[in-house]
Amino acid sequence: MGAPTLSNAQIGRCGELLVQYHLLKRGIETAPMTTDAGIDLVAYFPKIARPITIQVKTNFQPTPAGGRGKMALGWWVPESSPAEWVALVNLETQSIWLISHSELSAVAHQRASGRLHLYFYTEPSAEPRLGNRLARDFDQHLFDKQIEKLLVSLA
């Protein structure tokens, strides 16, 4: 049996559910938004009685950079997104990177047509010409690390 064929909407929903699962494992309640207004999830932190908003962007798996290069992940996020946080998901490995929207604006690799583009190579052998282009350069944004920092900052 081959890999399932999922629509973009199904891939996106899988990413949202994965983020919700990881938040709920930490006792953080979430609710999906019913319309696409740039916020996918509202997460409620009971210990601090404060919700945060999250936009989720999901890739099914890495793809060759530029169509023929080393394997990479990339996400486009609207520059004007009202979400406070962005969760970037790789379904293949069930990896999540969590980054504040303001920090995403600072580290985005490209800006075009009102959108921010963040990408990185998943192959350790990749040798990008510019820095901050390897997955390991974003380890500090992995979900488990970021959620702890977020909980401390909101307390």
Q: Dump pLDDT digits (tens) for 84-98.
A: 999 999 999 999 999
3-state secondary structure of 138: helix
Spatial distance between the Cα atoms of 83 and 100, rounded to a whole number of angstroms: 9
Least confident range from 8-17, 23-32, 71-80, 124-133: namely 124-133
Domains observed in the chain: 8-154 (3.40.1350.10)
Spatial distance between the Cα atoms of 153 and 141, rounded to a whole number of angstroms: 15
Give CA separation, 152 vs 45, 108, 146, in Å: 11, 25, 10
**CA 118 to centroid of chain Cα atoms:** 10
Q: Dump pLDDT digits (tens) for 24-78.
A: 999 899 999 988 789 999 999 877 778 999 999 999 999 998 888 889 999 999 9
Q: What is the pTM of this model?
A: 0.91
